Homo-oligomer: A and B are copies of this chain.
Amino acid sequence: MTTVQTESLPLVFHHRSPQFSYTLTDWLQTRFQLLEPDDPNFPNLSHSVRALAVAGPSPLTAENIRQFPSLELVVCGGVGVDHVDLAECKRRGVKVTNAGDAFTADVADYAVGLLIDVWRRVSAADRFVRAGLWPVHEIFPLASKLGGKHVGIVGLGRIGFEVAKRLEAFGCEIAYNSRRKRTQVPYSYYANVSDLATNSDALIVCCASTKETYHLINKDVLTALGKNGVVINVGRGALVDEKELVKFLVQGEIGGAGLDVYENEPHVPEELFGLDNVVLSNHTAVCTPESMAALKSVVIGNLEAFFANKPLLSQIVIE
């Protein structure tokens, strides 16, 4: 066992909620003097903490932040930072970083995977075969072709761009909704999500989860999407009014859904378990060894940049 003289290293508080098993200890302990929440020295050291690393989706409240009068930096391990009180960070002048591009490609790949799965009925076919039904029922419902379909990207950020790039290779027509129209983008822009839904065969939800985007995909949007429309959500559960979505799916008022995130994880509405036009996954779009390695790099990189007075790698703009 190697003993590390952590006292000479920069001090970082490891913020983590006991409800999650996420931990950054292995990644950070040899590079920083890591102050854990249950450290008996916490009262002596908290006033000196300038940087804080947040494990997974552990909520970071204004009250948490007030424990650190010298705080200047909050390093997060996700793309979304809706678990952090950004208003308090802004008020205090605390900078916040996220996972940057660590997850971008994997989430985009997964979104496309979910869309192909729903439209081409891949998981449904797998279930059909494993249940031994193929030799019994010769008829299996026709799927939907990807080429020529209109796909609406809700939130044309890094992930949205990568989703669009991939779906173009399948011959899909791309349009998007975003807070503002992007310049130099070849895709049609809709200022209103309902208008985008009206003109889309599927919506890919991959925008940031904020107060403004809470339940962005609501009853009106689902109605506009229509009976054959598909919802893919790889953003956050809060972006979709889940009760309405379940109702629309159960009543056959939309065509299908591919969901990696939910409003109350790990709870998934059981009404969906019997539906063949739905693909359900466990917030796993980012879970590859390559993503984890990239996340480790960006978390450590942001902390090292901060302590070296260099530009942060993935600072977010708090609006």
Chain A: interface size category: 35 or more
CB pair B168 A290 closer than 8 Å: no
CB pair A129 B281 closer than 8 Å: yes
User: Which residue from B130, B134, B170, B282 sits with its C-beta under 8 Å from A140?
Assistant: B282
Q: How far is the CA of A288 from the CA of B140 in the complex (A)?
A: 11
User: Which residue from B105, B169, B266, B280 sits with its C-beta under 8 Å from A126?
Assistant: B280
CB pair B120 A110 closer than 8 Å: yes
CB pair B170 A125 closer than 8 Å: no
User: Which residue from B126, B134, B138, B166 sits with its C-beta under 8 Å from A279?
Assistant: B126
Which residues of chain A in 125-146 are interfacial with respect to chain B, using CB atoms and an 8 Å cutoff? 125-130, 132, 134-135, 138, 140, 142-146
A279 neighbours in B (Cβ, 8 Å): 122, 126
Chain A residues in contact with chain B, CB under 8 A? 21, 105-106, 109-110, 112-114, 116-117, 120-123, 125-130, 132, 134-135, 138, 140, 142-148, 165-166, 168-171, 265-268, 270, 273, 279-282, 284, 287-292
CB pair B138 A284 closer than 8 Å: no
Q: How far is the CB of A132 from chain B (nearest CB, A)?
A: 8
A145 neighbours in B (Cβ, 8 Å): 105-106, 109, 288-291
